[in-house]
Amino acid sequence: MKTMELRVTVNGQPRKWSIGPGDLLLDVLRREGFFGVKRGCEKGECGSCTVLVDGRAVNSCLMFAAKVQGCEVLTIEGLADGDRLDPIQGAFLDHGAAQCGFCTPGMILAAKWLLDKNPHPSEDEVREAMAGVLCRCTGYIKPVEAVLAAAKQPAKRATRKREPAGVAR
Amino acid sequence: MFERVEVFYRPASVREAVRLLAGGKGRARIVAGGTDLVVDGDPTARALIDITHSGLAYIRKQGGGCAIGAATTMAELEESRTILALGGGILARAAATCGSIQIRGVATVGGNLANGSPAADLVTPLLVLDAVVVVADAKGRRKLPIAEYLAARGTKGLRQSLLVEVTAPRPLGRRCGWSFQKLGRTALDISVVNVAAGLQVDGAGRIQWARVALGAVAPTAIRAGATEENLQGRTLDAEAIAQAAEGVMREVSPISDVRASAAYRREMCRVLTRRALEECAAQAGCAL
Amino acid sequence: MTGRKVVGVNVRKVEGHKLVTGAPAFTDDIEMQGMLYGKILPSPHAHARIKRIDTRKAKALAGVHAVLTYKDVPRVPHTTAGQAWPEPSPYDTYLLDSKVRFVGDRVAAVAAESRAIAEKALRLIEVDYEVLPAVIDMELAMAPGAAVIHDEPDSTKIYDRSHNIAGYILREIGSVEQGFRESDFVVEREFRTHRQQHTPLEPHITICWLDPNGRLVIRTSSQVPYHTRRQVGQILQIPVSSIHVIKPRMGGGFGGKQEMLLEDICGALTLASRRPVKMEFTREEEFYMARSRHPQRLRMKMGVKRDGTVLASQLTVLATTGAYGSHSTTVQGNTGSKVLPLYRAPHMRFECHVVYTNAPVAGAFRGYGCPQGFFAQETLVDEIACELGMDPLDFHRMNVIRLGDTDLLSAQLGEGKEGLPRVVRSCGLPQCMESAARAIGWAQKRKKFPSGHSHLRRGVGMACTMQGSGIAGVDWASAFLKMNEDGSFYLQVGASDVGAGADTVLSQIAAETLGVTLDKVIITSGDTDITPFDVGAYASSTTIISGGAVKKAAGKVRAQVLEVASRMLDAPVDQLDCANNEVFTTCACRKAVSMTDLAMQAMYKEKFQIMDGASHFNTDSPPPFCATFAEVEVDTETGQVHVLHLASAVDPGTAINPMQAEGQVEGAVAQGLGYALTEELVLDADGRPLNPNFLDYKMFGFQDMPKLTTILIETDEPLGPYGAKSISEVPINGPAPAIANAIFHAVGIRIRKLPIRPEDVLRALHAERPANLDEEAMFAL
Ligand SMILES: Cc1cc2nc3c(=O)[nH]c(=O)nc-3n(C[C@H](O)[C@H](O)[C@H](O)COP(=O)(O)OP(=O)(O)OC[C@H]3O[C@@H](n4cnc5c(N)ncnc54)[C@H](O)[C@@H]3O)c2cc1C
Ligand code: FES
Ligand code: FES
């Protein structure tokens, strides 16, 4: 099998990996030990594999790993600051928003994408932003409460820009 | 799934992308967002050409209308002022229904057209906007009306070409109305049926032109030509709308599948067309 | 005030931190040296005999380490149902067989160095099939001349193999004939339910390896580690003592993992290759190679007096279990025993045929036969009430089971055998009904006639349901506790946390009993080497049965603690109590010793380990109750039904952790909504699944959920630990009938088939129009 070199920053750490040109980001991340990235459908339908690439929430199962060359990838493992949980993580615990927890990394990262962009979302905006993550346990009620509660906290997260150049607005 | 891919290219220009595609011996595949390509899992692909760095992500005003680069994402369409202002914002509205934020952040207009799904949601608004597609191959660039592109998409002439941009002409003056209607089974869904419509009325409330496009009810999205003709020149009222809604049912050829039966789809063409034309009428200032 | 410190409190989930930080907690979250990837070759035919199978090319492929067909493995008839021995399900399944019975059935299995190689090896296996006529439609399964699905002679416990009948049930109390004769009004209707799939976000996954002692380690996402150990031993013909089952964090089960589905074949590949092997279902495979809810045709007949008193009810069911009889009679038994006794009718009859078809296998699924039964019963009851001119709420108030009642049908219908009578010792159903009715605005909305002109019509409907808490006389569990030097306790339970929070609830029960804070309880669950026996997580048993065992074990350990304290504080045991991590005297002197000092004293001075264990079972299965009220909006042009508001009021006994209890209700309602409206695994005429993916199998998502009001009506169940019963299953039963009834209220059509698809609503509306949409006709109801 042909291989290529991938240089990427994952959770703030520069990495240099050897990958197949057709490898998908989900497989590469799990192979490299980022088990918080979950495999739920491999078709972009469940959102369990959500990661942030340059601040943008994507399904890592649909993204060729070669595409993240030079990008910053954030997985759930990189969200907490040492022992200090991100407010979204804390809110998920306080509101009982994680049941089995399989969808939880995807949910939290989708919420992170939203709050970075829109720190005070309405409930509808939360539901829309999170809609790409399916959950079979919670009925979505407590996750929505948790994200709204996290949004009310004084925001202390680094905001990333996601606007690519060249788009007229 | 893509174990047999040998190389991943990231061309920095259209010219380079076209050259790589031509050199791919039929086994090179263009990747934009990858949301269709990866799901389909084409085992014959040996080279992947990522066009998201080829300068194709743009939305430009162009003589009142606009030009949209093929690699522009759904998310960019949704939020662009230019697209929101174009044709009542139906293209932006359609883009906002194309899957989750994870999908819409990477899925492109080019991929939506090139993939050729009959249910692709951008196609009906683009048909109603009379959009034109620009394609490029080793021989150069060509312009094609979107309907023609859809029909010829799979043919030899187009298979080796790159979709470069989509242009929509200037919206046509005052008293226009536009609508995009999508019926899914849940909030996030592939269209069971989708309908886009646009029209313009004169001072007397007569329809100067009308366009109706329907998706997921034929092998590709279609314009309802006969219905459009029947509308032209008529006064835009409830009866005209009802007749048009009946009319489209004769122009579609839906199939039965796990999403819906043909009969239901046909009936929904009626309902959605009526709703679309009613919305157009309201925008055009016609009381029904 | 109960004075409780940990039970009844919304503590954070004990394992929550690792979930929100993405710590490697699930089965798949390990990487083992030399691990192979196992794959099953699924049958492309619904029914066929393997005439020839040649694996030589597959075996020759570089990177392939094992290829197994029926020729290579022991032939042991068994059931995959994770039930207590002796399992009531037929022994009709083989590790691998020369016959395949549904599209997706196992033909062969390979283990190779990568997924790609394994998939390629599957393509290299040459199989000649003799394709047999298939039975897909369950109504044709018993017909003369229908293909016989289990013609093999060695299967056992099949009710009537030559007619494809896996199981048959007939039970009657009183005489329904007499009951119908004495009734003023008898109504009979037919209902149909469909195939719903569990779709846990984590598909089935198992990793097996041989430990240094040569024992087979099975790391698996299972609700039933102990049953799995026993069954794998039986199938692979190795001693139970040489198997070690570990259940890591599970990504949801819902009954689908109350099955031994991959563990046997993965173990066989490990034994054959002597290498670690991982097997997991892809999402597509999960849809049709794992289990689903039994489709049923239900005929329900009820007789009532003019004043609304129910005299007799009769339910006749035809169900299909698919190609294998996993959970066949037990699920269907529940359709009768947990459903009919909701009404205090003196005469009841339940009859059921469970037939084989060449379709994906049905199994245990949250609700376990009740969603089907309650859909029929509660829709029929609504119709009867409307016909009698009664408010359905009044009809329920009048007829539902009450505190002190004995349900005799359960005595006749146990887990595949005679059961035990069920006595209602706690019942919050009346309050459930009243509070859910209030939440939905029943009194006003029921009267207010839906506006006549818009294409959007609104209506409200209701349903009452119940369930059990453990299987009476069958389910049992054990727990073990030992004290550590720092005054913490190590709790070992065989119970399997499916994701619903059992580890937290069991820790809370231990902490409450021992008088320590929750952080002082460290729990290990579901590991057959480390933890004592537990039947597993099913039948809503964990809180009441496993929790009962924990409470007993903790009680014994508490007694040991108090004895040590008594010596240390020089006070009699009956004047001691513990709370907040210390033991103190209850007399005026107020002496106290910390748990830490006490532990050090016991271990290093008195030289003994404070520890004990206990087992627990119940001879009754206390029912949790639920009232579900729904408000819907029907689009009369598209047939789409939009649920605007759903209120679910549940009596779970005591809610050990109210926040988690609410979460169970919300999750069950979401599944119930999908069951009612959008979810169905559809097969074509040849038994092939048409929508094995989330794109076309539509679960409810974030934007689909209606406004949801969850109400907990707590009661005190004498048989449960701290008064707890169960909660996770019962709320799934109500949404379908409540929505169907609300649709009737909105537009006057009766829906008797699930899921309630827009097309069917529209067709019914067109058929009924205009009479039933006539406002006066509606008012008359
Ligand atoms: C979960 C999910 C939900 C979805 N929901 C919707 C929905 O609601 N509505 C909808 O319309 N679609 C939906 N889609 C489909 C998909 O997202 C869209 O069709 C999308 O626009 C495809 O764009 P892409 O950039 O990802 O295409 P890719 O996957 O990158 O490409 C698709 C095809 O087009 C070719 N191609 C791409 N760009 C070009 C180009 N510039 N020139 C020539 N050929 C090109 C590729 O070679 C490939 O064959 C969904 C997909 C998923 C996975
Ligand atoms: S695994 Fe990527 S969306 Fe499901
Ligand atoms: S918590 Fe289990 S899938 Fe969401």
From A13, A44, A78, the end of a domain falls on A78
Same domain, A48 and A98: no
Ligand 3 centre to CA of C287 (Å) is: 17
Same domain, B41 and B69: no
Number of domains observed in the structure of chain C? 3
Q: Is residue A108 part of a domain?
A: yes
Closest CA to A107 of A127, A85, A82: A127
Chain B closest-CA separation from residue A21 CA (Å): 5
Beta pairing class for C641-651 and C707-712: parallel
Same domain, C141 and C110: no
From C251, C268, C289, the end of a domain falls on C289
Upstream peptide bond of A87 is cis (omega within 30 degrees of 0): no
Q: Is residue B288 part of a domain?
A: no
Rounded-to-integer distance, Cα C62 and Cα C172, Å: 62
Q: Which domain holds residue C234?
A: 31-132+202-289
Same domain, A46 and A16: yes
Which residues in chain C are contacts of A123 at CB distance < 8 A?
Answer: none
Number of domains observed in the structure of chain B? 3
Neighbours of C162 (CB within 10 A): 11
CB contact under 8 A, C678 and B267: no
The answer to whether B38 faces chain A, any CB pair under 8 Å, is yes
Same domain, C140 and C156: yes
Using 70 as the pLDDT threshold, list the residues of chain B that sit under it.
Answer: none
The answer to whether A10 faces chain C, any CB pair under 8 Å, is no
Rounded-to-integer distance, Cα A28 and Cα A30, Å: 6
For the domain that residue A149 is a member of, what is the CATH number?
1.10.150.120
From B116, B140, B168, the end of a domain falls on B168
Res C451: pLDDT: 58
Provide the CB-side half-sphere exposure for C615 (13 A, CA). Answer: 8
Same domain, C298 and C254: no
Ligand 2 centre to CA of B63 (Å) is: 42
Res C587: pLDDT: 87
Same domain, C301 and C385: yes
Q: Is residue A10 part of a domain?
A: yes
Q: Is residue C433 part of a domain?
A: no
Q: Is residue A162 part of a domain?
A: no
Residues 6+ apart with CB under 8 A from C474: C84, C414, C415, C535, C617
Question: C touches which chains (3+ CB pairs under 8 A)?
Answer: A, B
Which residues in chain C are contacts of A146 at CB distance < 8 A?
Answer: none
Same domain, B232 and B261: yes
Res C416: pLDDT: 61
Chain A closest-CA separation from residue B273 CA (Å): 26
- Hey, of B101, B194, B264, B269, which one would you mutate to test binding to chain C, going by the most C CBs within 10 A of its CB? B264
Assess contact for C418 and C411: CB atoms under 8 A.
yes
Q: Which domain holds residue B29?
A: 7-50
Which residues in chain B are contacts of A58 at CB distance < 8 A?
Answer: 102, 105-106
Ligand 2: which atom is nearest the Cα of residue C694?
A: 4
Left if phi > 0, otherwise alpha if psi is -120 to 50, otherwise beta: which for A52? Answer: beta
Chain B closest-CA separation from residue A167 CA (Å): 5
Same domain, A11 and A44: yes
CB contact under 8 A, A167 and B76: yes
Neighbours of A80 (CB within 10 A): 16
Res C2: pLDDT: 61
Q: Is residue A101 part of a domain?
A: yes
- Hey, of C287, C697, C698, which one would you mutate to test binding to chain B, going by the most B CBs within 10 A of its CB? C698
Same domain, A69 and A105: no
Assess contact for A132 and B104: CB atoms under 8 A.
no
From C261, C289, C317, the end of a domain falls on C289
Mapped onto helix, strand or coil, the DSSP state of residue B249 is helix
Same domain, C588 and C536: yes
Ligand 2 centre to CA of A45 (Å) is: 6
Chain C closest-CA separation from residue A107 CA (Å): 10
pLDDT, one tens digit for every residue, chain A (169 residues):
689 999 999 999 999 999 999 999 999 999 999 999 999 999 999 999 999 999 999 999 999 999 999 999 999 999 999 889 999 999 999 999 999 999 999 999 999 999 999 999 999 999 999 999 999 999 999 999 999 999 986 544 444 333 333 333 3
Using 50 as the pLDDT threshold, list the residues of chain C that sit under it.
Answer: 1, 771-781
From B168, B199, B221, the end of a domain falls on B168
Rounded-to-integer distance, Cα C321 and Cα C216, Å: 31
Q: Is residue A163 part of a domain?
A: no
Q: Is residue C217 part of a domain?
A: yes
Same domain, B102 and B150: yes
Task: State the ipTM, two decimals.
Answer: 0.96
Same domain, A62 and A93: no
Q: Which ligand sits closest to the CA of B37?
A: 1
CB contact under 8 A, A132 and B103: yes
Amino acid at C549: A
Res C449: pLDDT: 61
Question: B touches which chains (3+ CB pairs under 8 A)?
Answer: A, C
Q: Which domain holds residue A37?
A: 4-78
Rounded-to-integer distance, Cα C99 and Cα B21, Å: 48
- Unique residue bearing structure tokens 């206390």: C622
Question: DSSP assignment, residue C604?
Answer: I
Same domain, C46 and C152: no
Q: Is residue A169 part of a domain?
A: no
**Residues C749-773: pLDDT tens digits?**
999 999 999 999 999 999 875 544 4
Number of domains observed in the structure of chain A? 2
Same domain, B180 and B272: yes
For the domain that residue A15 is a member of, what is the CATH number?
3.10.20.30
CB contact under 8 A, A75 and C252: no
The answer to whether A32 faces chain C, any CB pair under 8 Å, is no
Rounded to two decimals, the pTM is: 0.96
Out of B190, B257, B263, closest to residue C695 by CB: B190
Which residues in chain A are contacts of C12 at CB distance < 8 A?
Answer: 93-94
